[in-house]
Structure 1
Amino acid sequence: MKKYFLLLVCFTHVVVVSFAAKAPKQVIVAPGTLSAASATLVWDKPDQAVRYHIILNGKEVGAVSKSNYMLTGLTPSTAYNCVVKTEGADGKLSGNSKPVKFTTTPQGKVLNITEFGARGDGSTINTKAIQKSIDACPEYGTVLIPEGNFVSGALFLKSRMTLQIEKGGTLKGSPNTEDYEPFINNRFEGWEMKTYASLINAGTMDSNGGYTTQQISIKGEGTISGGGGALGKAMIDKHGMRSRGRLIMLMNCQNVELQGLQIKDAPCWTIHYIYSKGISCHDLDIVSTAHNGDGLDPDSSDDSYIFNCSFSTGDDCIAIKSGKNPEGYTIGRPTRNVQITNCNFTKGHGISIGSEMSGGVSDVLVQDCTAGALLNGMQIKGTKERGGYVKNVTVTDCQLLKITIFSALNYNNDGAAAPLPPTFENFIFKNIDLKAATIKEPVININGFKDPAHKLKNVRFDNIIMPNGSKVIVNDAQNVRFANVKMINGSKPDYSLNNSTQTTY
């Protein structure tokens, strides 16, 4: 990383001032991650950062290059004070961040599901035994799934509990559709409706209500595995495409952590949360191959922290949503403050916002991520029927293969239109490595809406490197700026502009 200097010319001499690394801002305990023995910190990435040093109660406990750190080995019901320092390129440390103070939770009882009759033989349906252990779990207690293959139907978690899956342990979704009945209130592809329950469920969906379920952790070194595409097809055959349950479904939940697990083989979307706040998904390995096999879908929810995760999916790796067309527009519950950092996207359709975004999406950060050959790359998508908005999106310090903004899609566009087209505005793409992109199609393809009042507005591309022969398309846009956007040979890419104004490159 370069070191920058400011030359102050005084009357008789020159003073050289080094721009030292700054302490991180907004160091917080990620929502839902506080337990009896651990807490996970996240913070905003300052300029000039090389490493971070974590100081707990006055003693350094770790140093990392990522903007997050998991504190372990803590004592239950104990107060802690933590600060983070930034190490700059010169090896010097910043001052302390603003302290973050927290108190660990009490240590609750651990309930092993085998004590309630569960059998990890890969064939016994253990729904009743596991649910009995959940119902018996005291506050701050843990339901433990040990080594073995434990098959189950729909399970329903409650507040202030942990579901922990040990290394070598698998919670396996039943292949039988009847094990996910009765139907529950849900939302799928933007519409509120009744669907099959998911393998893991928490909360009760209510678009007008508050948070019904709080402080849940789903974690461990084991596996959550669903019935996959075969279960999804069986659900479709019985009750239609939109009847399918997810693998993990959170509804009107607050302060939930998903950590450490391999999560795979969903019948459609893998992790879906709606009308929720404070969801932390970290250190997960998410794999799906099913039709509509999204990896993670934040839906009309606030304060999502997604970090240190890997994705290989049959559809969008992440799809940020907020309802569809007049229904989503009228409910009007947006998704806000989504931070996606230090993630690896190896396969799928996109790191996506939309297409169901009618309640609005704002304040999204994608940072320090790497994406493989995703079908649509880093993608913002909607249709003119959606209504709502997507605004204040920043994508920075990433290695990508494509950037797209789509305003017309050939799927999931049934139903009446919202009263106005969407608004797409205020996007920043900065420090993006696109060198490995294919040039068979545009590497950057951004489009607004045809309505003159709904052009794509206020988009900046700063410090972008692309392969030789790259093309950039800008349609129906206003105030789009390209600064230091170059191909490997130093030349500018080929620009194609249509119905766009105030565009500079």
Structure 2
Amino acid sequence: MKRHLLIFTLALLGFVSGSANPADDMRIMKRDSILAQITGATIPEKEWLITSFGAKGDGKKDCKPAFDKAMKRAAKSGGAHIVVPAGEYKLNGPIHFVSNVCLELQEGAVLKFAPEPEYYLPLVKTSWEGTFLQNYSPFIYGYQLENISIIGKGTIDGNAGSTFATWKSQQKKGQQLSRDMNHNETPVEERNFGEGYYLRPQLIQFFACKNITLEGVFITNSPFWCIHLLKSENIICRGLRYDAKLVNNDGIDPEFTRNLLIENIEFNNGDDNVAIKCGRDNDGWTTARPSENIIIRNCKFKGLHGVVLGSEMSAGVQNVFIENCTYGGYCKRGIYIKTNPDRGGFIRNIYVNNCRFGEVEDLFYATSMYAGEGMDNTHFTEVHDIYVKDVTCQKASAAALVLQGTTVKPIYNVRFENVNVDQAGIGLSFSNTEDIILKNCNLGGYVGVPSTASAKDNIFNK
């Protein structure tokens, strides 16, 4: 509390003394007050080798019993630092965390999960595309835990290409039923899916947990979203590496989550790099817990979209900082805000600073009409207070800046400053907006000093 007061006082003194950029001072003060609350997990001192529980890194032996045994003992003894040395560890089923555990995957260590769906039963409490339900267990899962971490230079291989990755074409029945149960407010304990519904589980999910660190590991071949942080808080995701290009392999999906730092990550995903969500429709409104206080910095984006807010965001998204990020390859869209009149909620206090992109389809795209859904509904989203500064892009083949509000809820109070795009199909496209400011922006090239007129240029001489 004292530290937060000091930060506020120093910022206030900056305003009084005539700071050159009071808006930047306020943004930095707000960001730093959030950073002061993020500590992640504490690593337990007690260290165990997973091989002492019977695991063998030969790629043949089923090591799930060894991980289960280690977690059970850690629960009884107050926690542990479980070390996985180099080798390939086959897992016929999920790892279920307990509190106060650090799982360290040393360089050369590979957790390779079995692809057969039956290994991920019985059902567990989870969420699927913003709806709470029971489904197949995520491959690494924790529910209502504290002080948990996964660290090291090893690999988490979901190995899901032959089964789960093929399910999207069969998921419609389960997907629609989950949404109907959401809209009809069916009790969550009656929302049982799993076999026959083809709703893919996440690779890593921590649900209703706090004090989490995920650092260093390499992630590949996820069955669905790679990391799903659901109703959790005080989290550090740092130095992760991805090559996850199966279907819907989002990198990190925070949902109903607060106080999260994402930094120094090399994304390479078959879908969104970071997708900030907050519940679908009735489940979001009932939960009424926004995703908030999220800092994304010093990352390299590569994949479908860099940072996405929505479309499941009915409880609201606020206080998101995207700073000092660049690109490792192509992104369809750099920053993408998406909602529609099914959702309600709000998206506000979004700050994008000092980011560089190469070639994209759209650099910055905010829409309240995502996928054309819900246009007959009345749950319009408030999208406002967005600040984009010092952003560059080599080429936006479709459009540089797009804002699409609705007549009922225009997008408002958006500022673009020092946004420079070398080539753009369309420089800007704004509809149903209010109070939009552009300062020192070049969209689609630069116009230099005008040439001096000569007599032959005079139209009256022609």
> TM-score range with shorter-chain normalisation?
0.7 to 0.9
Provide the C-alpha distance between the structure 2 equivalents of 1:395 and 1:242, rounded to a whole number of angstroms: 37
Q: What CA deviation, in whole Å up to 9, does each residue of 1:171-201 have, x standing for no partner?
A: 1111111111111111111111111101110
Query: Number of residues paired by the alignment?
Result: 389
Partner SS, residue 312 of structure 1: coil
**Whole-Å separation in 2 of the counterparts to 1:385 and 1:18:** 42
* CA 144–403 in structure 1, closer or farther in 2 if over 3 Å, else same: same
Structure 1 distance, partners of 2:247, 2:407, is 31
5 Å-filtered alignment, 1:94-493, equals 107-108=45-46, 110-137=47-74, 138-152=77-91, 153-203=93-143, 212-233=144-165, 239=195, 243-371=199-327, 372-400=329-357, 401=360, 402-410=363-371, 420-434=379-393, 436-438=394-396, 440-451=397-408, 454-468=409-423, 471-487=427-443, 488-490=445-447
- SS of match in other structure, 1:230: coil
Conservation of the 8 A alpha-carbon contact between 1:278 and 1:303: yes
Is the 1:247–1:271 Cα contact (8 Å) retained in structure 2?
A: yes
Q: For 2:312 and 2:252, locate their aligned partners in 1 and report how far apart those are by CA, in whole Å.
A: 14
CA contact 1:387–1:418 (8 Å) conserved in 2: no
Q: Distance in 1 between matches of 2:206 and 2:377?
A: 27
Residues 147/418 of structure 1: CA separation in 2 closer, same or farther (3 Å cut): farther
CA 1:456–1:29: 2 relative to 1, 3 Å:
closer
Gaps of 5+ in 2: 1-18, 171-193, 450-462
Task: Verify the 8 A CA contact 2:231 2:257 in the aligned structure 1.
Answer: yes
1:31 equivalenced with 2:39 (yes/no): yes
1:168 deviates by 0.5
Cα pair 2:275 2:307 within 8 Å, conserved:
yes
- How big is each residue's C-alpha offset from its partner over 1:213-233, in whole Å with a ceiling of 9 and x where there is no partner? 111111111111102333314
In the alignment, which residue of structure 2 is the partner of 1:59? none
Q: CA deviation at 1:235?
A: 6.1
Deviation at 1:300, TM superposition (A): 0.5
How far 1:251 sits from its partner (Å)?
A: 0.4
Distance 1:300 1:418 in 2: 23
Report if aligned partners of 2:38, 2:260 keep a CA contact under 8 Å in 1.
Answer: no
Q: Contact conserved, 1:426 with 1:459, CA < 8 A, in 2? A: yes
Letter in 2 for 1:146: P
Separation in structure 1 between the aligned mates of residue 414 and residue 423 of structure 2, nearest angstrom: 23
TM-score, L = length of structure 1: 0.72
Kindly indicate whether structure 1 or structure 2 has the higher relative contact order, using CA contacts under 8 Å at least 6 residues apart.
Answer: 2
Cα displacement (A) at 1:118: 1.3
**One-letter amino acid of the counterpart of residue 407, structure 1:** S
Give the whole-Å Cα distance in 2 for the aligned partners of 1:299 and 1:252: 10
- The Cα of 1:242 is off from its aligned counterpart by 5.9
Q: Letter of the aligned partner of 1:150 in structure 2?
A: Y
Cα deviation per residue 1:7-57 (whole Å; 9 max; x = unaligned)? xxxxxxxxxx999xx99955647422443xxxxxxxxxxxxxxxxxxxxxx
SS where residue 327 of structure 1 aligns? Answer: helix
For 2:159, give the aligned amino acid: G
Secondary structure at 1:130 match in 2: helix
| Partners of 1:386 and 1:418 within 8 A in 2 | no
Give me the whole-angstrom Cα distance separating, in 2, the residues matched to 1:353 and 1:241: 27
1:487-502 alignment, distance < 5 Å: 487=443, 488-490=445-447
The alpha carbon displacement at 1:240 in A equals 5.7
